Amino acid sequence: MIKLGDNMKKKKLKRKFKIIFTLIIMLIVLLLIIVPKQTEEHKGKENTKVEEKNKYEKISYYRKENLDRYKEYEKENKNLSLEEIITNVNIGLDNPYYTNTLPSTNLNTNLILVNKYNYLTEDYVPENLENIQTTYARSGMQLVKEAKEAFEELSESAKKDGMNVIAMSSYRSYDYQVNLYNNYVAEDGKEAADKYSARPGYSEHQTGLAVDVYNLDLPYTSFEETEEFNWMQENAYKYGFILRFPEDKVDITGYQYESWHYRYVGKEVAKEIKDKNLTLEEYLAKKVEN
Ligand SMILES: [Zn+2]
């Protein structure tokens, strides 16, 4: 009985041992299957994050603070290249015009940016305003000294080629712009006026670096039809001026094409903008901030 009992106990023990052993093996197998899978998934998630981040960071003018906006803008503009996405968001184009506006920086420099996202305050008057000589302008036209001298050189050079490039409007004060804009709104309504005229504070003419030209014969709005326009296309940059609102950049500048409106940015920048077919907005958005 004792021996038999012992045998039975042994058998029971063996069975228990087998069950425990099988359970342990199953557990090990399960662990071997599940653990690596989870790590892979985890790694996968991290990789996509890194990839997404790197994707934008690869562009030299990527701005960390705009990361979420790049992602949002890309979702709605899948046809655009990565460079375009970064450029447009840096400009502010992911927001409607006249929203999320900021006061202009670089005041009293050639690179001051005034557009539908960047404005000048009511009291901003540029330093060193000077009258353009009446040989080259209607009377009382002012520009900032450096721009004024450059414009006179440009106009003189055009004259030597038998052309008239004459300033018909240049510096405008904030108050002047208030009147101008209000008149346009009264005539055409706000929506239309916003397309061709700047709201007070948002006009580049307040910088003292912008000039509207004509050739004395035709109204300035027909400047594109003149020989002088072609001359400007070839030569304006040599004097530091750019065509500010080109025909193919309406979506970037937010302004209708203006063949008569030129902006002084300095010779070096004007050349780069012309060579790379940029607008001032794009030039500044692609600038790497140190
Ligand atoms: Zn203008």
The string of pLDDT tens digits covering residues 133-158 is: 999 999 999 999 999 999 999 999 99
Pick the more confident residue, 21 or 188: 188
> How many whole angstroms from 187 Cα to the centroid of ligand 1?
19
What's the confidence (pLDDT) of residue 2? Answer: 52
> How many whole angstroms from 210 Cα to the centroid of ligand 1?
6
Q: How far apart, in whole angstroms, are the C-alpha atoms of residue 32 and residue 19?
A: 20
- For the whole model, what pTM was predicted? 0.81
> How many whole angstroms from 7 Cα to the centroid of ligand 1?
108
Confidence of residue 44 (pLDDT cuts 50, 70, 90): low
Query: Which residue in 74, 204, 228, 258 is the catalytic one?
Result: 258
The verdict on whether 258 is a catalytic residue reads: yes
Q: What is the mean pLDDT of the chain?
A: 91
> How many whole angstroms from 132 Cα to the centroid of ligand 1?
16
Minimum mean pLDDT range among 12-21, 70-79, 185-194, 222-231 = 12-21
- Hey, what domains does the chain have and what are their CATH numbers? 100-285 (3.30.1380.10)
